[in-house]
Homo-oligomer: A and B are copies of this chain.
Amino acid sequence: MSTPEATAPGSAPALSRIPRPSTALLTDKYELTMLEAALGNGTANRRCVFEVFTRRLPAGRRYGVLAGTGRLLESLEDFRFGPAELDWLAAEGVVDDTTLDFLAGYRFTGSITGYAEGEAFFPQSPVLVVEGTFAEAVLLETLALSILNHDSAVASAASRMTSAAVNRPCLEMGSRRAHEQAAVAAARAAAVAGFAGTSNLEAGRRYGIPTIGTAAHAFTLLHDDEEAAFAAQVAAAGPGTTLLVDTYDVRAGVERAVAAAGTGLGAVRLDSGDLGVLAQEVRAQLDDLGARGTRIVVTSDLDEYAIAALAAAPVDSYGVGTSVVTGSGAPTCGMVYKLVAREGRSGEMEPVAKTSRAKAGTGGRKAAARRLGPDGRAVEEVLVTGTDAEVCAWVSQEDSLRALQAPLVVDGVVDPAWTGKEGLLRATERHRASRDELPRGARRLSADEAAVPTVTLHLGG
């Protein structure tokens, strides 16, 4: 089995100037009440293994894209119960004094392994594995799921869009359709899946994503006529700018745009109407005017299907808003955070799982690998349970497997290579490689089953 890519020497994320409040109360209350009860009877110190996975992909989707790992690791460093948090918990009587004392000193000292950010995942893929005492691991459930479910939903949709766009750039413009902080995370998740830029300035500042955007209809309407608006924009931004030409009449708008900027006009943007037909007309008009190098940017409720439908139209880039930030029909992933093994009365680790009729689980920590066929493409997601020795022995016999889990946090120390701007670049690279490795049919947009089956092997007893 080949090993996951080696950890590059990391630099700390460049977030020092952005205020970073505690993330500790971004948590469901029951994590604290469970902690209190477990501190009460001593089970809080039992070693535990929690796994994050999804039971199924959204209907019709062929793969998911893991995103948010870097953000989770950054947030983990801010997961601290300071005086403001403790005072509020005390005043509300959420937990007892013993628990407050524990929280005051809380630092996650366990280990986290996971799929590399950007990796494709399938049902049951253990994309994150958290190991530590019950007390330290149970508190991370909500934060881990919030970040991974949101960011992976966006990246999973975004990957279908960049796939449909082939080599044309996709630009993320959906901030206005998302919670204001979720918008920043969505821009980042879209970048993981290959989006080339974002309209969101904070995403530019925080993650180094190229920012894009020039003007809205309001700018044209502000002026007494379109000529004055275009002249003002070209004066400020130069002829290489993008002029929005559909405020009044598109044909007249294109003519005025070229008149204002000359044939070196950077681009025109179309934000309404039948974009395929319009793009053809505008391309012909631009060429007739001698503006052969002027590009055409289309926006207006695009999704992966609309992008695919424009493949034959003379479009140079796609601005995508609502559909990417809302996951194009699947606004969250169904990832869960489940206890799969814990120290028992004997002191040995034991697999555990819910066993009642619905939502039954598979106990035991799972090692994960992707089996590749002779052509280097994925054929199977392989999950293996067993003792460490059994898993090692089994793995050494196989050479068609690519291991999927890598260390992210070791004894409480976050590997900075997964965080910040560097982490994002790495995730983008990983996604590109992971998607290229999927079976050819995986990129079809039509509804179908997961692109590869997930197989679970139970070694030993």
Contacts and interface: CB of A to CB of B under 8 A. Distances in A.
Interface string A173-188: 1011111111111000
Contacts of A327: 331
Contacts of A25: 201-202, 205
Interface stretch (A4-12, A242-250, A288-296, A435-443): A242-250
A176 B146 contact: yes
A175 B18 contact: no
Contact of A17 (B84, B214, B231, B342): B84
Interface in A309-355: 322, 325-327, 331-332, 334, 337-339, 342, 344-345, 352-355
Nearest to A208: B92
Copies of this protein, total: 2
A413 B173 CA distance: 31
A18 B88 CA distance: 11
B46 A222 contact: yes
Interface string A182-199: 111100000000000001
A36 interface: yes
Given A84-B17, A326-B332, A177 B145 contact: yes
A92 B211 CA distance: 9
A180 B216 contact: no
A418 interface: no
A447 B75 CA distance: 41
Given A75-B180, A145-B177, A357-B272, A222 B342 contact: yes
10 contacts: A26-B201, A27-B202, A40-B235, A50-B218, A134-B218, A134-B222, A224-B344, A247-B356, A273-B358, A326-B332
6 A-B pairs with the lowest CB-CB distances in the bound complex, closest first: A30-B213, A179-B182, A272-B358, A145-B176, A37-B236, A29-B213
